[in-house]
Structure 1
Amino acid sequence: MSSLTTLEAGQAASARSKKRLTAFLFVVPLLVFILLTFVAPIASMLWRSVHHPAVAELIPLTLTELQRWDGKTIPDAPTLDAFAQELHGLNKVRLSGKLAEEFNRALAGMSSVVKSTARKVGRLKPEELQAQGAQTLLKAHGNWSKPEVWNAIRRAGQVYTYDYYLTALDLELDPENGIQVREDTQIYLQLYSKTLNMALVITIFCALLGYPLAYYLAGLPENRANLLLVLVLLPFWTSLLVRTTAWIALLQTNGVINSFLLGIGVIGQPIEMLYTSFATVVAMTHILLPFMILPLYSVMRGIDPSYLRAALSLGARPIPAFARIYFPMTLPGLSAGALLVFIISVGYYITPALVGGTDGQMISNIIAFHMQRSNNWELAAALGSLLLGLILVLYWVYDRFVGASNIKLG
Structure 2
Amino acid sequence: MSISSTAAAPAEAVALVAAHQRSSRRKQVFSVLLVLPLLAYTAVFFALPIGMMLYRAVSNPEVIQAFPRTLAALEEQKSVTPHAVPAEGVFIALEQDFLQAPSIAVIGEAARRLNYESSGYRALVMKTARHYKRGPSSTASSAQARLAAIDPRWISAKFWSDFQRASPAYTPYYLLAAVDLKQTAEGVALADENQRVYVSLILKTLKIALVVSLLCLVLGFPFAALMVSAPRPMQILLLLAVMLPFWTSLLARTTSWIVVLQQKGIVNTLLLHAGLIDQPIAMIFNLPGVYIVMVHILLPFSVLPLYSVMKSIPPHFMRASASLGAHPLRGFVHVYLPMTLTGIGSGTLLTFIVAAGYYVTPTLVGSAREQMLGYFIAFYTNTTVNWGMASALGLVLILCVMVIYLLAARLVGIRQIAGLR
Q: Which residue of the partner structure matches residue 115 of structure 1?
A: 126
Aligned residue in 2 for 1:374 = 384
1:56 to 35, 44, 64: 64
Question: How far apart, in 2, do the equivalents of 1:172 and 1:194 lie?
Answer: 22
1:182 to 164, 188, 191: 191
1:273–1:224 Cα change, 3 Å: closer
Instruction: State the partner residue of 1:238.
Output: 248
2:282 pairs with 1:272: yes
Change (3 A) 1:52 1:311: same
**Which residue of structure 1 aligns with residue 329 of structure 2?**
319
1:248-304 deviation digits (Å, cap 9, x = unpaired)? 112223322233333334333333332222222211110010111111111111111
Q: 1:129 to 1:257 in 2, by over 3 A?
A: farther
Q: Distance in 2 between matches of 1:227 and 1:306?
A: 25
Q: How many Å separate the matches in 2 of 1:93 and 1:161?
A: 24
Q: Report how far residue 102 of structure 1 moved.
A: 2.1
Structure 2 residue 28 is matched with structure 1 residue 28: no
- 1:151-170 deviation line (CA, Å, top 9, x unaligned): 21112121111111111111
Match of 2:315 in 1: 305
Structure 1: tracts of 5 or more residues without a match: none
Maintained 8 Å contact 2:261/2:284: yes
- Structure 1's 142 and 299: CA in aligned 2 closer, same or farther, altered over 3 A? same
Gap change, CA 1:226 and 1:270, over 3 Å in 2:
closer
Q: Is the 8 A contact 1:121 1:129 kept in 2?
A: no
Check whether the contact 2:215–2:295 (CA below 8 A) recurs between aligned residues.
yes
Q: In structure 2, do the counterparts of structure 1 residues 109 and 229 end up closer, same or farther at CA, with 3 Å as the change threshold?
A: same
Note if contact 2:88-2:142 (Cα within 8 Å) is conserved in structure 1. Answer: no
The count of residues paired between Structure 1 and Structure 2 equals 408
Deviations 1:64-83 (A, max 9, x none): 22232212222222212322
Q: CA 1:408/1:296 → structure 2, altered by over 3 Å: closer, same or farther? A: farther
Give the whole-Å Cα distance in 2 for the aligned partners of 1:94 and 1:312.
Answer: 76
Structure 2 unmatched runs, 5+: 1-8
2:229 is aligned, of 205, 213, 219, to 219
Post-superposition shift, 1:179? 0.5
Shift of 1:408: 6.0
Match of 2:338 among 324, 328, 340: 328
CA distance in 1 between partners of 2:343 and 2:261 (Å): 32
How do 1:6-405 residues align onto structure 2 when only pairs under 5 Å count? 6-67=14-75, 68=77, 69-90=80-101, 93=104, 95-125=106-136, 131-176=141-186, 178-183=187-192, 184-405=194-415
Q: Is the 8 A contact 1:91 1:122 kept in 2?
A: no
Local SS of the residue matching 1:27: helix
Contact 1:211 1:296 in 2 (8 A): yes
Aligned 8 A contact 1:85 1:133 in 2: no
- Report the CA distance between 1:356 and its aligned residue: 1.8
Contact 2:62 2:106 survives alignment (8 Å): no
Identical pairs, percent: 37
Question: 1:100 Cα deviation (Å)?
Answer: 2.2
**Deviation of the 1:130 alpha carbon:** 8.2
In the TM superposition, residue 227 of structure 1 has moved relative to its aligned partner by 3.2
SS in 2 for 1:180: strand
Secondary structure, in 3 states, of the residue corresponding to 1:173?
A: strand
Deviates more, 1:333-342 or 1:95-104: 95-104
Alpha-carbon distance change, 364 to 94 in structure 1, aligned in 2, over 3 angstroms: closer
Paired residue type of 1:87: F
State the SS of the aligned residue for 1:179: strand
Aligned-residue RMSD, C-alpha: 2.1
- Aligned to 2:201, the other structure's residue is in SS state helix
**Post-superposition CA distance 1:56-100 (Å, at most 9, x none):** 011011112223221222222221232233224449756443332
Amino acid of the structure 1 residue aligned with 2:412:
V
SS of corresponding position for 1:316: coil
Task: State which structure, 1 or 2, has the greater radius of gyration over its C-alpha atoms.
Answer: 2
Alpha-carbon shift at residue 206 of structure 1 (Å): 0.2
